[in-house]
Amino acid sequence: MKKLHLLPLLFLFALMSCKKEDKEAAPSINEQIKGRWDVIRDILVYYDKDNREIYRKPYEIRMVFTFDGTAYREYMGRFSPYEGTYTLSSNNGKDYITLQGLPNNPIEVKGFSETNMSWIIEHQDNIYRDPVTYQEKTAHHAVYILEFERR
């Protein structure tokens, strides 16, 4: 009977001595961003003071960004590429990218995955043209959204 009491103890000891496999650390955003990213959608969105969307203006600008860890290149149509350095940072649980030499920095990076990401850029101009009346109107604030896909 004493042997049966030892069996659960031996089983418990065997479980406790099993080594848990170490999970691999997820790659940093700096590693994940490396490569070619095509802008698949770019939209300027205007909001009222209650943060409700009041107007959305899509653009047809096609850009390609490449990132190598410290430098980036931006291609836009037939224009010469813009080159510069970038840094990635986090603040209050949000990720940001700062592109050297460009305005509106830092840029919030949202929805980042292996294949997609979005940039949210606070837009300086809050004036838009109403699509029905064609009158100029002023929004409380506007954001420019760039949606990327890895190629």
Q: What is the mean pLDDT of the chain?
A: 83
Contacts of 29 (CB under 8 A, 6+ apart): 88, 90, 95, 109, 112
- Look at residue 59 in the predicted model and tell me its pLDDT: 87
Q: Where are the domains of the chain?
A: 29-150
Tens-place pLDDT, residues 114-151: 899 999 998 877 899 988 999 999 999 999 999 999 98
For the record, the structure tokens of 54 come out as 């009041």
Percent of the chain scored above 70 by pLDDT? Answer: 81
How would residue 112 be classed by pLDDT, with cut points 50, 70 and 90? confident
- CATH: 3.10.20, 2.60.40, 2.40.128, 3.40.50. Which one for 29-150? 2.40.128
Mean pLDDT across the stretch 53-69? 88
> Is the full-model pTM beyond 0.85?
no
Number of CB atoms found within 10 A of residue 72's CB: 20
Phi then psi for residue 15, to 5 deg, are -65, -40
- Look at residue 10 in the predicted model and tell me its pLDDT: 44
- Look at residue 63 in the predicted model and tell me its pLDDT: 86
How would residue 78 be classed by pLDDT, with cut points 50, 70 and 90? low
- Beta bridge partners, 107, equal 97
